[in-house]
Structure formats: C-alpha cells, structure tokens
Amino acid sequence: MALQLYGDLISQPCRSVYIFLKKNNIPFEFKVVQLFEGEQYSEEFQKINPLGKVPVLKEGDFVLTESAAILTYLAESFHTPAHWYPTDLQYRARVDEYLSWQHTALRPQASKLFLLKALVPFVPGFLEPEARLREAEDALNQSLDQFDQKFLRDQLYLAGAEISLADVVAIVELMQPLGAGCDPLEGRVTLTAWRERVKTALGKDLFDEVHESVMNAQQKLKWISQNQPAALEGLVKIIQKGEK
C-alpha cells in the first residue's frame, strides 16, 4: 500500500524524512500540512495525529510519528543500503546516539534562532533584545562544538566512512538558520567540509528542492504577515513560552 507522508518542508524533521524517501526511490504521496498557517491543529489533522505534530507516516492503517522512528522504520522496512542504518550494532548505535541527542540540542536551537531572526521584520512590536539573540547563538555554538568534537571527530560522516541517517538529520537541522540569513557553520572549516560532503552524497538537485521552502521562508512570512497575522502571533507565543 502506498505511503503517505504528512508534513511541511519548512520543518527540519519533515525534510529529513522527505529526503530519505526520495533518495531511496521509495514511492510516497506528500500531504502538505502548512505549519505557519496552523493546519497541524485542524480537526482533520488531529484525527491523524492527536499530538498535532509533523511528520506523520501513514501506511494503510499503520500511522507512525516522530522523525527518528520513521527513518529507522523506513530503512528496515524497505531494506535500504546498509550504510543508512548499519547492520553492525556498534555503527548502528552511533546513528541512534546522534538521533537521541539532537532532539534537545541542534534541532530546537537551530529552529529557535531561525524563528527569532526571521520573525523580527514581520511582527509589529516583536523586537528581540540583542542579549536574547546572543544567548540563542551561544547555545547553538556550544552544541556545534559538541557535534564536532563528540560526534563527527575526524570522520568523514557521523557514523564513519559513509553517509547515514544521522548525517541526513543533522544537515537539515543546520540549514534552518540559513533561511533567516544566518550560517551557523561560518568559520567552522571541518563542519563546512562535512556539509559539502553530505550535500554531494545526497545530490545537489534533491538537496536544493527540499530546502527551497527554507530559503524562501522570509517571503512566506511576509505574505502571512499581510494576510494571516494571527498565525505569526502564535509563533511568537511559542518562542516566548520556550516551547520547542
């Protein structure tokens, strides 16, 4: 039965699943859920995922949430090449280790910095103090130090000599701030070289296709600010409450 992926490519976890499906030629139908417009809270979507989050994978009556679980399920279910989710238990553990760590490190930090910088021009009265922006940048930089020293080390990729699910998840996370004109890897030679290797391994055309929404995020936010300002106010409340 055909897979259905519910999501929005503005979301880092959605992009990681989308890239993996496309790269491995796994047929699926993409069901867009517009996050900036609050469609994840609609009654229709809540029937699919009461948590109101994306991505969601649907295969017949089987519904799976959480991007890490979806990625590992796809790798196993479709018998993708072993480098994505290695059969060697120690290499696989390295992938799982990163997937567990990133949920409270790079992903929320990159997303917060993106939202802080991207929303400022379009929400009246939303002027983030420089101290708060520096705090967000410092938190992300601390995690990048850990990413470099603990996870990448002197390897080509996060699990060794070949690209894995961990690299796919990591690169989409670190592309998020670029949508607000901020390159978190600026000045980091080792990590910049890793990013280029991952882009090449995934394929430039696919990579650019998947990140088009992010790179055009400010244009989208401008449209929403003019037509659906309440949606942006909701994003501001999420930041102010410290939600991820």
What are the 10-residue block averages of pLDDT along the chain, 244 residues in total? 92 97 98 89 94 96 97 98 97 98 95 83 66 90 98 97 98 94 95 98 96 86 74 64 44
> What's the pLDDT score for residue 225?
73
Answer for the pair 129, 201: CB distance below 8 angstroms, yes or no.
Answer: no
> What's the pLDDT score for residue 125?
61
Superfamily for domain range 3-77? Glutaredoxin (3.40.30.10)
CB within 8 A of 201, min separation 6: which ones? 163, 167
Please give the single-letter amino acid code of residue 124.
P
Q: Locate the DSSP E strands across the chain.
A: 3-7, 28-32, 56-59, 62-65
Domain 89-240 grouped into CATH 1.20.1050.10: yes
Residue spans in the chain of domains classed CATH 3.40.30.10: 3-77
Residue spans in the chain of domains classed CATH 1.20.1050.10: 89-240
Beta bridge pairs of residue 58: 4, 63
Cα 193 → chain centroid: 20
Query: What does residue 80 show for φ and ψ, rounded to 5 degrees?
Result: -70, 165
Query: Could you say which DSSP state residue 128 is in?
Result: -
